[in-house]
Amino acid sequence: MRNELMTAAICWEIGAKISVEFAYHAKDLFYFCPEANCLAEVVPAKINNAFFRALGSHAPGCANEKKKTTESPVPTTPIFRKSTVPPLPIPSHLGPIAMPRKGIRPSEAQMNALALRSRLAPLHHPGTFQEVVNAWCSMDGVSARQSHPLYIASQPQTYFDAFSPLSHVSEEGALNSDRKILYGNATVSDYNHSFYVTTKTRFKVGEKVLPIKIRVRSSDVLYPYLKDGQEVILFLHGLIPALGKYIEIQPTDAYSGMLITLRDFSSLAR
């Protein structure tokens, strides 16, 4: 039988172990097998799913060496096996990883040193705002969030540090989410063919103390999943307009904006 698809390799220019999803969109960089006893040059490829394949062959005994397919005991009858699709890795970066220029081909000694340094290092994998929030919601407690790195705007953090409760932000007196993901409890209310998502936490704005109130119009993709009186968790990242009667947050790309989950962090659309 065949071994699992190779979905991680070391990128020389980035100097880290990276996901094949990133490599498939950066094919001109130099990638090699992370096994120190192998270091075979690999390239991203795709049949049904993306994977790394060796240009030549992996070293004998390498964990990524291609195994032979098991033959059927009946010569004319093939054995059908379910193909396994590996789960997407936990994003290490919110937004694209910076694309370096293609460098000079490394020596075997340089590749070996980088392979040893990267052996226990976390995988580099870019994620959208939705993917990062999904990863945070699925993590089992504080220790898991403290152990997974997350870069936001090139700033190294952990999932624990990068997510900041709105109640803490209110105490600090600055509503800033350019390098943080803000989250907090909110309530949904229905008024005049729109929903309004209002945070429990309030912020001092001049002489007033106001919540964040976000209008969700009937044309918004979230609208069908909301209902009056619903208790939700609101996630925000990027530019937050000045607080007033209400605000509307429109993401400029897949890496910012507003997300909402149920109170148990499960999807609205479950």
pLDDT at residue 4 greater than cutoff 80: no
Q: Is the pLDDT of residue 172 over 80?
A: no
Domain spanning 162-262, CATH architecture: Beta Barrel (2.40)
* pLDDT tens for each residue of 128-144: 999 999 999 999 989 99
> What mean pLDDT, rounded, does the chain reach?
89
Question: What are 77-121's pLDDT values in tens digits?
Answer: 555 445 556 678 999 999 999 888 888 899 999 999 999 999 889
Residue 242 is predicted with a pLDDT of 86
Full-model pTM: 0.87
Domain assignments of the chain as residue spans, ordered by start: 1-127, 162-262
pLDDT exceeds cutoff 70 at 255: yes
pLDDT at residue 174 above 70? no
HEC string for the chain: CCCCCCCEEEECCCCEEEEHHHHCCCCCCCEECCCCCCCCEEEEEECCCEEEEECCCCCCCCCCCCCCCCCCCCCCCCCCCCCCCCCCCCCCEECCCCCCCCCCCCCHHHHHHHHHHHCCCCCECEECHHHHHHHHHHCCHHHHHHHCEEEECCEEEEHHHHEEEHHHHHHHCCCCCCCCEEEEEEEEEEECCEEEEEEEEEEEECCEEEEEEEEEECCCCCHHHCCCCCEEEEEEECCCCCCCCCECCCCCCCCCEEEEEECCCCECCC
pLDDT at 2: 45
Where does the pLDDT of residue 169 fall: very low under 50, low under 70, confident under 90, or very high at 90 and above? Answer: confident
Name the least confident of 122-126, 173-177, 200-204, 238-242. 173-177
If one compares 229 and 73, the residue with the highest pLDDT of the two is 229
